[in-house]
């Protein structure tokens, strides 16, 4: 991974190998969706230290309390003391885009979303997915 700066934005461009590995690790985690295996969603993220954490959807019968895989992946990293996320696999729902965007605001790192599209791997900064972001800055 290579740190890049574009204006005020700081982000990391992953190597093709890192992208493929992250997608593979996310796909492997799919067996761990809760409560039923392979029923829901799974992702993987990479932190600035190069560590990879997975997340799986955790379904509640209330539906409202269901946790998305992106949320559990961010928590998984936070539990290990890692708050500086550089990349996460996608595509992601809009609730999760908001969560990823807020993580970006806090860390100052524009998290790249890794997706496969038409046989190609793309790295899309979360800022590009949030054209009219809320909040514009954090109230901390
Ligand atoms: Zn989601």
The rounded Å distance from CA 94 to ligand 1 centre is: 6
Q: What is the mean pLDDT of residues 121-128?
A: 96
Residue 140 in domain: no
The rounded Å distance from CA 31 to ligand 1 centre is: 18
Residue 14 in domain: yes
The rounded Å distance from CA 93 to ligand 1 centre is: 4
The rounded Å distance from CA 7 to ligand 1 centre is: 29
What is the distance between the alpha carbons of residues 28 and 43, in angstroms, rounded to a whole number?
9
φ and ψ of 69, to 5 deg: -60, -35
Q: Using one digit for the tens of pLDDT, what is the confidence trace for 92-119?
A: 999 999 999 999 999 999 999 999 999 9
Residue 12 in domain: yes
The rounded Å distance from CA 41 to ligand 1 centre is: 9
φ and ψ of 134, to 5 deg: -135, 135
For 14, 31, 114, 124, the CA distances from 1, given in Å and listed in that order, are: 4, 27, 13, 14
Q: What is the mean pLDDT of residues 51-74?
A: 97
- Containing structural domain, residue 58: 2-129
Q: Using one digit for the tens of pLDDT, what is the confidence trace for 76-94?
A: 999 999 999 999 999 999 9
The rounded Å distance from CA 81 to ligand 1 centre is: 22
pLDDT of residue 136: 81
Number of domains present in the structure of the chain: 1
What is the distance between the alpha carbons of residues 118 and 21, in angstroms, rounded to a whole number?
18
Q: What is the mean pLDDT of residues 54-77?
A: 97
Name residue, tokens 């936070």: 78
Secondary structure percentages of the chain, helix, strand, coil, to 5: 35, 30, 40
Return the CATH number at 73.
3.40.140.10
Q: Using one digit for the tens of pLDDT, what is the confidence trace for 27-56?
A: 999 999 999 999 999 999 999 999 999 999
Cα 33 from chain centroid (whole Å): 16
Q: What Rg value do the Cα atoms of the chain yield, rounded?
A: 14
The rounded Å distance from CA 51 to ligand 1 centre is: 22
């Amino acid at each position: 991974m290579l740190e890049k700066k574009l204006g005020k934005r700081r982000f990391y461009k992953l190597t093709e190998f890192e992208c493929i590995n992250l997608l593979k690790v996310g796909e492997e985690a799919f067996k761990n969706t809760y409560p039923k295996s392979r029923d829901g969603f799974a992702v993987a993220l990479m932190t600035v230290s190069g560590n990879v954490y997975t997340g799986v959807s955790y379904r509640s019968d209330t539906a409202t309390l269901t946790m998305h895989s992106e949320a559990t992946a961010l928590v998984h990293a936070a539990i290990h003391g890692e708050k500086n996320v550089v990349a996460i696999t996608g595509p992601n729902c809009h609730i999760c885009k908001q969560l990823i965007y807020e993580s970006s605001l806090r860390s100052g790192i524009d998290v790249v979303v890794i997706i496969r599209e038409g046989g190609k791997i793309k790295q899309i900064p979360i800022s590009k997915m949030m054209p009219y972001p809320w909040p514009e800055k954090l109230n901390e």
